[in-house]
Structure 1
Amino acid sequence: MKSNAFRRSLISLALTGALGLSAGTAMAANNDGSLTGTVSEGGATITLINEKNGMTRTITADADGNFRFPRLPIGTYDVKASKEGYNTAKADDVKVSIGKQSDVTLTLEQGNVEVISVTGGRYQMIDTASSETGINIDALDLERIPVGRSVASVANLSTSVQTGGFGGISFGGASVSHNAVFINGLNVTDVERGIGFNSVPFSFYEEFQVKTGGYSVEFGRTTGGVINAVTKSGGNDFEFGADVYYTPDALRAEQKNIYWSNGDVRFNRSEDESDSYTLSLSASGPIIEDTLFFYAMYEPRNVDSTDIGGQQNEDRDESEDDSGFWGAKLDWQISDDHLMELLAFSDEQETLTDVYRDGEFQSTDFFSTGGTNYSLTYTAYLTDNFTAKALVGQSEFEYSYGGSTDPFCNRVFDTRNDLNEHIGCSENSLFDERVSTRDAFRLDFEWFVGDHLIRFGMDNEDRETDFSRRVPGPDYQRYTLHDVTPGTVFDGVLIPDGVTQEATVYKRRNKTIARQDTKAAYIEDVWSINDDMTLTAGLRWDAFKMYQGDGSTFFEIDDMIAPRVGFSWDVNGDGQSKFFAHAGRYYQPMSLAVAARAAGNSEFRISNYVLEGLETEEVNGLTNVIPILGEELDYVDFSSSAGLGPGDVDQDVEATFQNEFILGYEMMLSEKWSAGVRAIHRDYRNAFEDMYVDVMPGDHPALPSECGNIWGWFFGNPGRDLQLQLDCGNGPQDVTIPLGEATDSWNSLSGEVIGGDQPRRLYNAVELELDRAWDDKWTANFAYTWSNSYGNFSGGGLARTGNDIPGFTEIADDVSILNTNWGKLPNHLPHNFKVRGAYQIDDNWRVGAVFTAEAGKPINAVSSSNPYTGANANAQTHYQCVSNCSDLDNAEWIHIPNGFYGDLGWFTRLDVNVSYETEVNGADVRLGLDIFNLLDSQSVTSVVTDIDDGTVGDVDSEFMMPNGTASPRYVRLSASVRF
């Protein structure tokens, strides 16, 4: 039994903070920390001991008494200083956190006994040498407050972080696909789309670091944020644990229904049900005492849910996930100067859903994610001042979904007569099977020379996606049926006389193995200019090369140089306040999703047909609906047998990047209270997208006349020069199309060439924060963010259309989209309040709370009509036809910029918890109750933003109707035991 181990860890932060601040450099790597300090006598021997596992390191302080222990595994350490003729000075329970530096000050006095020598007597809440922004929070911190058991929930505790599209998280207005997640130094972000990532159970995590800005050149390939997590490790004591979490449906509030404009139920959610539980079983201890340790966990789980589809429960989806996680970590202290860590885990997860329609079983759908991951890390303390670290690993992320009826059932969605329902025996839009892997290798070095900490290294990732996609049905086609009016324009097509019904047919098949090599190198100097000022200057070099299905190069970008400079000033020289600034550039690689879909064996066609009727057939006891197609009215065709060539992809593509500038000031208000203010500016440019181009030689004098009309789908930077290699009859020649001047627009009403704007996202913010450190009694944090996210491009993925494929969104399908999209972006969040805290009532009882209040996001409405193209579904812009809509040449439009129809209402949420801790037969026991959304604030989170359904001038009756609300109140019960 570990007597009072739980509470002993709780006070470590306070004791660490009482150790005072020294003029060291504040920098640590991405999965460890560092400890620096000063001792009153130069040349003293400094010994560091980790009592948990016996790790010991000894170095000698320099002539001025400065010392530094780099790249330490996170944990709690005892520090001793000794010198002949002096008492031994000792500081106990010094906490080393991920990505942070802990500082101690020790005083040697003449004598020959051991004493505890602690100076300062205040809490270390300000890192006076850092210009980075973000938070560190460990497992014990998280147990005090109600928080979801997910990495995203932890990240949302930080300022400037919000929930974005597709269930992801947005840092500073960035797309949810622009983040990076690390576990023990291994990047586990999905390389295919950048939205998902691998993860381990919450009970396996030891500590989190959320980097919101200003981070080191060691980190790259992201223009959003970084989530840095470290897992638990074993020690010299055998420990066993069990955590049970249960979220019963019986304690869940009734979820609000969503209605059609006529009052009928659109989504019947009041009868939905959900029960979930997880059981985490862990064991840890020594294999060889003081040398080799293990930590292992197995987590079985069960999630049962029922979703009601329509007005009555005859339509329902019954889902079950009974997947199990396994994971293990080995730590080998080869010697005092050589360490090795092995992490392996599998987060494979599959949800099976039985689909019932009209009370009859229809199919079993599956959804699979996750994969097997491992990393091996070696750390060598080669001298007191030179450290090397190497990591090799692999992450695997599967993302697959489909249904048992998909091979033989058509997906037919009928909108005629406002039916708006599936009438075939499949409801799935696509059947996907894709597995992405990352083979990672990196080397990191630190060299401490006088007042300079020189950090350098290299970082290579070989990425691959094995991608397979097809539309359900025997002919790989899905159908949407519409009522149309003869003589009008629908979906960009003039409807012929006598035609009243139309079928849009979407056909798709893909099979590709796409690869990407990403290489990087960095060097950084952290210079302690004097005792009060630190300058951090670094350069990062990146190179990205993507290969398509046949092994040829899809596109390549190298020599991307990202400078970053940070300055921090301990204003009063006492560690009580700091002014800091940061300026840096960050590059974003293209996700493999583009090459997987466009640069291999593919068939993609969208067609419009006259609908002449329906026929049915019985297949495996189900009724398959087959639309009878008449005349083809229009189509878009994109197919590839092996990949794309130099005539399809920009031969001089520019890299996507973001510039960032931060100014801030932090200060101690008292021994336990600190406050800070930060001003942030970010500028995101050079998106890489698929885009439609249609130009004639006469559109620009630089275009060669022999090439004739250049039109079709191309990949490059919208709004910039598009450099292609075309064969116009005289062999290959280089052709440059100035997209900012000559791009045209589909079916341009004026007949004039329309140039395209460049995609851009700007973000400005002011963050205010007030924090009180935990002191065994209570803690609190108050944060407010004012921000403005605006431009014409939010980043990879387009939540409005449901397109989660970075680089493959509709934003550049026509130049008029970007040209009219300027304004408040989807992740614009002008006001964001976050409050969290915990209070220890007595030795057993504790309460906590988290409160969030967010101003509503903008309603960014679009229509299918505009003054550029008249009517074209591929060019939904911020215009609305208000008169003469049947005569496009004389139609009148009004501009409807982002937010024209207002904003969503405020979102508020209060989560509370209470826990009871005691000791039972030598075991530490904790019982918990968490209530999420205590006030059951089911505010509207999204509305229908399509003004019309494809008919020019009509306002759809469903426009502005709610189609999403916040989750209802629910309760989580938990119990934990440690012995």
Structure 2
Amino acid sequence: MRKNIKFISLMLALTLSLVTAAFGQRTTGDLEGTITDPTGAVVPNVSVTVSSTGDAGFKRTVQANADGFFRVQQIPPGSYIVATDAISGFGGTKREVRVNVDATASVNIALAVGTVGADITVTGGDAAPIDVGGSKVSSTISSQKIDLLPKGVDFTSVLKTVPGTRGEGLAGGFSVDGASGSENAFYIDGQEVTNFRTGTLNGNNAIPTQFVQEVQVKSSGFEAEFGGATGGVISVVTKGGGNDFRGEFGTQFSNPRFNGDNRPSLLRFSNNTTEYLTAPKSRGTNFFPTANFSGPVIKDKVWFFGSYTPQVFDSIVDTKYYTNAPAATRTLTAEQTYRLKRTYEYAFVRLDASPIEKLRLSGTYTWNPIIDEGAQPAGTVSIGGSPPVVNFGGSIGTLTGNQLTDRQGGRQNSNNVTGQAVWTPTSKLVVSGRFSRGFLNEKLGSYFVPSGTRFICQYGAPSIGCSSGFADPANSNVLKDASIRTNWEVDATYMVNSFGGRHEFKGGYQRFKITNDVDRGYVGNGRVDLYVNPTPGYQNVISIEDLGAPVTPTCVGPCVRDADGFITNPAYIGAGEVIRFGTKGVGSNLNQSLYIQDRWQPLKNLTLNLGVRMEKEDLPSFNGLAPPINFGFGDKISPRLGFAWDITGDGKTKAFGFFGQFYDRLKFELPRGSFGGDFYRIDFFEIFAGGGDFRSYTLPRVLGNFNDAPGGRCPTTGFIGSGISRCQFDYRIASNDPNATIYTGAVDPNLKPFRQTEFTGGLERQLASNYVIKGRYTYKNVDSAIEDAGIINPEGSEAYIIGNPGSGLHLELLRQLGYQKSTTPQRQYNALEVSLDKRLSNNYYFNVNYTWSRLYGNYSGLASSDEAGRTSPGVNRFFDLPFIGFTAAGQPDNGLLATDRTHVFNAYGAYIFDWKGSKTNSTELSFFTTAQSGTPVTSTIAFITTTIFTKRGDLGRTPMFTQTDFAVSHKYKFGRDNRFTLVGDLNFLNLFDEDNVTSLYTQKTTSTLQPNTAAAFGTQFVNPDGSVNFVGAINAYNSGALLNNINTFFTGASTRVDGRYGQANGFQGPRSVRFGFRLLF
């Protein structure tokens, strides 16, 4: 006994030293079934043993109950043998099944008459493909299927196969059932690895496919134990070891010379002409080695899996610098060669232990930093730019071009550690405990960063000593941006056969904490943007009002405007901006969850999945003030109600339905930006002849003695201090200051959390032993959203209410200030999905799926499709000012959202050519193809800031998007018992090098229409004291009263409509080719 205790203690210490798992995310599946005799009568009290076939070390024995029913829980995904003991009158029976993560495999065993002690093997292999008791919608991609797919080098490249899931640039990542890329939750071995700030997946955690045993995407209907996602729950389970030693060693390569050509870039010049330019390819070879090894530490007790699979991207660009002019007059000014070597380090180890049959332990450690060596300030062509030059002084001196970039780079350190214990004291009770810790320090681009002011000549001229397109090297540095995420979880599951049927009760507690310590940006050194147009004529002189400052320009005498509104007597030759941005502070939050759910079978063929989840959450402050957002357990109550009906009673036909509510877990982008972490100010100044060269516009010269008062300052005439700044905007007024006024922001004390409601219903039917057809309808609606909804204060800066836009404190403030209209967030997703799946048998498999959907509203979610996929949850521009949400036609801007794709068709599959039964050679051919509707394209204008012009989708849609991927692998087996396999791989993404248009340039205006200075409006919005009547201007815009003025303005001069407007500016990526070889044993 003492030896057993010592052994168990050793195994616990060993596993927990590597550490543990999850925040409400399962890494295992379940198996259930009924034992019957040849007549169909149940056979009670039969011992059933489930043991691994080699994917993972696992073995457990349970006893069927009096109804012949058995269930085995918490089984690692993989293939298993289900065996029954021989009993009087019946021989032992074996059957092979597959268990997927977070799914219940059903295997009903009919005992055959035989001699006691005889084993009878039941052929026909897999478990029934339908989870007859489940009401969630999920798709599982096993390691076998991953091998039989054309793909990239990490697990995210196989998500394209999941219906309703696709990579969308405008969504900021992967869109699942219409949600944005910031609304998914990513888990690896139960540990959440979603970025704490953006809600997306860092490259550090996009682990290689060589680590992966299974990928699962839960799209809808998931149980109460899962929270924090209004998109999808994307779970990765890593490979483990078994009782046999196995390995994989090899490498893959890619080189630009085998890829398609670069896509054209759309250029615009100072005279408003445009040009497409296709840059030459870069050079370099990408290198993807792998070394996997697994097996037993102690046979039948402890197993390991280890892998080192770095990804090395080595890029060399031969940059040619040209003047900023059309092709006919463009001249070469300089040439440089730059190299960037980016290495994604992925080292992984996993231990699994089963010291006794009733206890299973697991632990993982992942070392996954990203390392940059060198930098590439430009591609193979730079228009208007020049090689970077920085004087570091001292012994280093001045570094130019690749002398500087060869020393630059950065390192983004990261590591994750997880651990889990599962205890099964009886066949009815399962208890599990989990812990995990993740570390990330986002410090790429932090080596040899210049410490001085950065100057950029957006428009340059000889009078200030620089040409258009000139830019100093970036001076934004990262001293630290470290985050630590720790999770604790405990849950218990208990099965009973009473209270009106069979119940499986599960309850749990989850504790989730994040701490962020950050110091990054360029507040102290700043960036200076200069606009001095070299083109003659007063119409081409950039004024301070063109940059967005609501002040009166300096003229020779009173300003005089021509019929088109251009100032004819400017005293200035241009204008400039000083931009300062940075983030500094420490913030920490705590999220706690309680949940309970019941998988209840009141009837043999009916399962009710009933659950409720409660969360308690606070959002951190970065300025030392009390955290202003706190949700109690009563504020976030999530019901989860589903049913599954086995219509035919044979496990081959299922109808299911689900109703649920889901709450977002707040991301750190909002508190960093609104609760004292961010500093973001822009100062505007005018440039006059004789004012000196571009480097003379230093921060002291521009800012003078102005002390950065909260809210900024913007008088219509004169200066804000002793410098030359005419106006300062403060874009980061802290909203949690208890002494703040309505003009500096606030937090709604009655704030409602972000909530989404969902209804889903569907049918699944097994057509034959290996074919399943599925259909589902889904409706999802955002009930409430949290955003920074703002106003313009008297100084022209923006102040925000952190609340629910269009309601509560935000609505009260709008009414108090005299705004006549307001809008609320809307996002509705309706979809009908059909798929046909043929499982792998007879050397082939395939899947075809079609989705019809409609995504409607004015709010794309936590990432903004109206801002090219900006991932700033809670602080995107959706409701930042009272006119955003309305069009110049005076209507709400609700419509089809920018990632709406009405029709999406996918097909994928593979065929294994066995060379007429050869035991040594096989060739695998696999493909993926998609055809998708284009996305709506919408015109925008700059009225104070960018907003939708007349209606969503006025420019139609982008063309249909199509792409085909293809892969081929050849395997040759050799050695005794064909123990070894040599594999050659060839992978094509975008096989036919299609270049479909993916976006158009939609900004119609070339300058900002300010209410007090734009020719379109005259002086109707200037108060007698010279200040701007923003309320009157916005009310007029929101009512449609300014539409004719704006249209007349556009027709007044050709240069007022951007030459790029309506032209394609985004294209499908070129074909990529990857090839390599592997040795398996």
Does the alignment reach a TM-score above 0.5? yes
Offset of residue 487 of structure 1: 10
Mapped partners of 1:673, 1:478: distance in 2:
63
Offset of residue 853 of structure 1: 1.2
| Counterpart check, 1:214 vs 2:284 | no
Mapped partners of 2:776, 2:475: distance in 1:
46
Aligned to 2:855: 789
Mapped partners of 2:266, 2:650: distance in 1:
61
Aligned AA (1:361): G
| Counterpart check, 1:677 vs 2:775 | yes
- Which secondary structure does the structure 2 equivalent of 1:669 belong to? strand
Is the 2:91–2:117 Cα contact (8 Å) retained in structure 1? yes
From 46, 52, 70, the counterpart of 2:73: 70
| Counterpart check, 1:935 vs 2:992 | yes
Is the 2:268–2:1059 Cα contact (8 Å) retained in structure 1? yes
**Structure 2 matches for 1:558-707, cutoff 5 A?**
558=632, 559=634, 560-600=636-676, 602-612=678-688, 613=691, 615=693, 631-637=724-730, 644-645=737-738, 647=740, 648-693=746-791
From 423, 431, 439, the counterpart of 2:486: 439
- Which secondary structure does the structure 2 equivalent of 1:812 belong to? coil
Offset of residue 71 of structure 1: 0.8
Is the 1:458–1:522 Cα contact (8 Å) retained in structure 2? yes
Q: Relative to structure 1, is the Cα distance of residues 532 and 624 closer, same or farther in structure 2, using a 3 angstrom cutoff? A: same
Mapped partners of 1:532, 1:412: distance in 2:
70
**Structure 2 matches for 1:514-525, cutoff 5 A?**
514-525=587-598
| Counterpart check, 1:170 vs 2:175 | yes
Offset of residue 456 of structure 1: 1.2
Mapped partners of 1:574, 1:420: distance in 2:
76
**Structure 2 matches for 1:92-103, cutoff 5 A?**
92-103=95-106
| Counterpart check, 1:945 vs 2:1002 | yes
Offset of residue 119 of structure 1: 8.2
**Structure 2 matches for 1:312-327, cutoff 5 A?**
314=335, 318-327=339-348
Aligned to 1:757: 823
Deviations 1:882-924 (A, max 9, x none): xxxxxxxxxxxxxx21110111111111111111112133312
Aligned AA (2:777): A
Aligned AA (2:672): A
Mapped partners of 1:100, 1:513: distance in 2:
40
Offset of residue 280 of structure 1: 1.1
Offset of residue 413 of structure 1: 4.4
From 39, 49, 52, the counterpart of 1:50: 52
Is the 1:695–1:743 Cα contact (8 Å) retained in structure 2? no
Aligned to 2:1070: 968
Deviations 1:595-638 (A, max 9, x none): 223323553212222123553669xxxx9999978743332225
Aligned to 1:513: 586
Aligned to 1:900: 954
- Supply the RMSD in Å over aligned alpha carbons: 3.1
| Counterpart check, 1:852 vs 2:930 | yes
Is the 2:149–2:909 Cα contact (8 Å) retained in structure 1? yes
Q: Relative to structure 1, is the Cα distance of residues 581 and 642 closer, same or farther in structure 2, using a 3 angstrom cutoff? A: closer
Aligned to 2:574: 501
Number of residues paired by the alignment? 891
- TM-score, normalised to structure 2, is 0.78
From 940, 944, 947, the counterpart of 1:877: 947
Aligned AA (2:608): L
| Counterpart check, 1:38 vs 2:34 | yes
| Counterpart check, 1:292 vs 2:390 | no
Q: Relative to structure 1, is the Cα distance of residues 660 and 327 closer, same or farther in structure 2, using a 3 angstrom cutoff? A: same
**Structure 2 matches for 1:29-178, cutoff 5 A?**
30-40=26-36, 41-52=43-54, 55-82=58-85, 84-108=87-111, 109=113, 111-116=115-120, 118=122, 124-165=128-169, 168-178=173-183
Offset of residue 368 of structure 1: 4.6
More strand by share: 1
- Which secondary structure does the structure 2 equivalent of 1:130 belong to? coil
- TM-score, normalised to structure 1, is 0.85
Deviations 1:903-947 (A, max 9, x none): 111111111111111213331222111111111101122222211
Is the 1:425–1:625 Cα contact (8 Å) retained in structure 2? no
Aligned to 1:542: 615
Aligned to 1:818: 885
Deviations 1:249-278 (A, max 9, x none): 221121222232678666643333453111
Mapped partners of 1:310, 1:223: distance in 2:
46
Aligned to 1:772: 838
Aligned to 1:893: none
Q: Relative to structure 1, is the Cα distance of residues 395 and 578 closer, same or farther in structure 2, using a 3 angstrom cutoff? A: same
Aligned AA (2:154): S
Mapped partners of 1:470, 1:522: distance in 2:
41
Offset of residue 306 of structure 1: 3.8
Mapped partners of 1:457, 1:377: distance in 2:
14
- Which secondary structure does the structure 1 equivalent of 2:158 belong to? helix
Gaps of 5+ in 2: 1-23, 37-42, 323-331, 378-384, 388-399, 534-540, 556-569, 704-722, 741-745, 888-892, 1010-1049, 1051-1055
Structure 1 stretch displaced more, 592-601 or 197-206: 592-601
Is the 1:851–1:910 Cα contact (8 Å) retained in structure 2? yes
Q: Relative to structure 1, is the Cα distance of residues 420 and 395 closer, same or farther in structure 2, using a 3 angstrom cutoff? A: farther
Mapped partners of 1:69, 1:561: distance in 2:
30
**Structure 2 matches for 1:440-459, cutoff 5 A?**
440-450=487-497, 451-459=502-510
Offset of residue 170 of structure 1: 1.0
Aligned to 2:237: 230
Mapped partners of 1:763, 1:825: distance in 2:
10
Looking at CA atoms only, which structure, 1 or 2, has the larger radius of gyration?
Answer: 2
**Structure 2 matches for 1:231-250, cutoff 5 A?**
231-250=238-257
Q: Relative to structure 1, is the Cα distance of residues 756 and 396 closer, same or farther in structure 2, using a 3 angstrom cutoff? A: farther
- Which secondary structure does the structure 2 equivalent of 1:810 belong to? coil
Aligned to 1:701: none
- Which secondary structure does the structure 1 equivalent of 2:375 belong to? strand
Mapped partners of 1:798, 1:75: distance in 2:
39
- Which secondary structure does the structure 2 equivalent of 1:244 belong to? strand
Mapped partners of 1:123, 1:780: distance in 2:
18
- Which secondary structure does the structure 1 equivalent of 2:964 belong to? strand
Aligned to 1:554: 628
Aligned to 2:360: 339
- Which secondary structure does the structure 2 equivalent of 1:400 belong to? coil
Structure 1 stretch displaced more, 173-182 or 542-551: 542-551
- Which secondary structure does the structure 1 equivalent of 2:122 belong to? coil
Aligned to 1:196: 201
Structure 1 stretch displaced more, 592-601 or 780-789: 592-601
Q: Relative to structure 1, is the Cα distance of residues 316 and 545 closer, same or farther in structure 2, using a 3 angstrom cutoff? A: farther
Mapped partners of 2:159, 2:1071: distance in 1:
21
Offset of residue 112 of structure 1: 0.7
Is the 2:456–2:469 Cα contact (8 Å) retained in structure 1? yes
Q: Relative to structure 1, is the Cα distance of residues 642 and 816 closer, same or farther in structure 2, using a 3 angstrom cutoff? A: closer
Offset of residue 344 of structure 1: 0.5
Aligned to 1:475: 525
Is the 1:402–1:432 Cα contact (8 Å) retained in structure 2? no
Offset of residue 314 of structure 1: 3.1
Aligned AA (2:531): L
Mapped partners of 1:765, 1:545: distance in 2:
34
Mapped partners of 1:909, 1:964: distance in 2:
16
Is the 2:483–2:516 Cα contact (8 Å) retained in structure 1? yes
Could you tell me the percent identity over the aligned residues?
24
Aligned to 1:719: 806
Is the 2:284–2:316 Cα contact (8 Å) retained in structure 1? yes
Offset of residue 510 of structure 1: 2.4
Offset of residue 482 of structure 1: 6.2
Aligned to 1:17: none
